[in-house]
Amino acid sequence: MRNVGVREISKKTGFSPATVSNALNHKRGVNKETAALIMRTAHELGYDRPSRVTHVNFVLARKTGQVLDEGTFHTGVIEGVERAASLQDMSTVFTTLELSDRGTAAKQAHEIIHDSSSAVVLLGTEMAEEDYELFRGSEVPLVVVDGWSDHLFLESIVTSNENSAFRGVSYLIDMGHREIGYVAGSYRIKNFPLRERGYRRAMREANLPINPAFRVEVGTTVNTAYESMRAWLATNPTLPTAFFVENDIMALGCMRAMTERGIKIPEDVSMFGFDDLSFASISNPPLSTVRVPNREMGELAVRTLVDRMREPRSYTSVVHLSTFFVERQSVLCLQNH
């Protein structure tokens, strides 16, 4: 990347260095046509991004840790962010925002959205709607990963939750399952209700009954999911032939409880997860699931930030990434039974 300065762009365009600097830093007071001409010239000369932005601040917004702490989803996102940032000659710094401490979080968020040397990738997995208020009016480029706001228009990259769950449940139906249960997390992050909606839609479209007795609510860590499932199984419930589980962490805990109780997977109950975390391939049996492209999410977040810095625009977008189907040994085919 050639090191192009403000004076070189100023000479080429005929605008003063101050006007060029204001346009490159997206300050108000430069009319649209002038700013567009300056940006275009800057790109032609090889000026790649505003020099003031030296790093990507990866902000891990943590509410309870009940979903983030045991999952490996965000470590993949981080790898993607670091890789893409280094390609842009930017470093990556990390900030953990403890949302449970509202006062401290508000102060931290205020500093983050006014730090002109950074662009922000905000991990929204555990964020609730009210938490996004902390980032209202951000003065720095910001992209939310694995989260979105319904009230603020923020650039966001999310998993296609509803459609992915719909496909997972449709697969169970294609495998001959008619009684399909749903394992829901007791801590409801924004992704989970969408996955449940996909489950319900698949069942509805196949004209299959949704039995409320087959909806089991469990904790969102391996141990709490295990304890919840163990307590449910102790009531000697009628079991469905398959469960769709909101994520792999919960599936692992539930499978442990079932195996302990002598319930064979997949012979007695089939299990289908969500995320394809690293242990899903080595669980017993290996878990059928959908893989979320987490590294690609991180890379795309940085590319989006750079694009917005180069070419600011008056609207934001929410990008839904599809998942990959991963078929393993936790689902039994009932078609020939």
pLDDT in tens, 310-321: 888 889 999 999
- What is the distance between the alpha carbons of residues 271 and 253, in angstroms, rounded to a whole number? 12
User: What's the 3-state SS for the chain?
Assistant: CCCCCHHHHHHHHCCCHHHHHHHHCCCCCCCHHHHHHHHHHHHHHCCCCCCCCCEEEEEEEECCCCCCCCCCHHHHHHHHHHHHHHHCCCEEEEEEEECCCHHHHHHHHHHHCCCCCEEEEEECCCCCHHHHHHHCCCCCCEEEECCCCCCCCCEEEEECHHHHHHHHHHHHHHCCCCCEEEEEECCCCCHHHHHHHHHHHHHHHCCCCCCHHHEEEECCCHHHHHHHHHHHHCCCCCCCCEEEECCHHHHHHHHHHHHHCCCCCCCCCEEECCECCHHHHCCCCCCEEEECCHHHHHHHHHHHHHHHHHCCCCCCCEEEECCEEECCCCCCCCCCC
Look up residue 208 and give its amino acid.
L
Query: Is the predicted pLDDT of residue 287 greater than 90, yes or no?
Result: yes
Band (pLDDT 50/70/90 cuts) for residue 337 is: very low
Residue 22 contacts residue 29 (beta carbons within 8 Å): yes
The pLDDT assigned to 1 comes to 41
- What is the distance between the alpha carbons of residues 24 and 21, in angstroms, rounded to a whole number? 5
pLDDT 10s digits, 79-109: 999 999 999 889 999 999 999 999 999 999 9
Query: Is the predicted pLDDT of residue 324 greater than 60, yes or no?
Result: yes
Tell me if the pTM is above 0.95: no
The pLDDT assigned to 49 comes to 52
pLDDT 10s digits, 207-242: 999 999 999 999 999 999 999 999 999 999 999 999
Band (pLDDT 50/70/90 cuts) for residue 48 is: low
Which residue from 160, 173, 108, 168 is spatially nearest to 134, judged by alpha carbons? 108
Cβ neighbour number for residue 46 with a 10 Å cutoff: 11
Question: For 97, phi and psi rounded to 5 degrees?
Answer: -105, 110
The mean pLDDT value of the chain amounts to 93
The pLDDT assigned to 171 comes to 98
Query: Is the predicted pLDDT of residue 70 greater than 70, yes or no?
Result: yes
- What is the distance between the alpha carbons of residues 336 and 333, in angstroms, rounded to a whole number? 8
Domains within the chain, CATH numbers bracketed: 6-41 (no CATH), 55-158+294-322 (3.40.50.2300), 161-292 (3.40.50.2300)
Give, in order, the Cα–Cα distances in Å from 187 to each of 20, 246, 301. 49, 11, 26
Cβ neighbour number for residue 238 with a 10 Å cutoff: 9
Higher pLDDT, 116 or 272: 272
Helix axes of 161-174 and 191-205: crossing angle, nearest 10 degrees: 40
**What would the mean pLDDT of 126-140 be, rounded to a whole number?**
95
The pLDDT assigned to 315 comes to 92
**What would the mean pLDDT of 232-253 be, rounded to a whole number?**
98
Query: Is the predicted pLDDT of residue 4 greater than 60, yes or no?
Result: yes
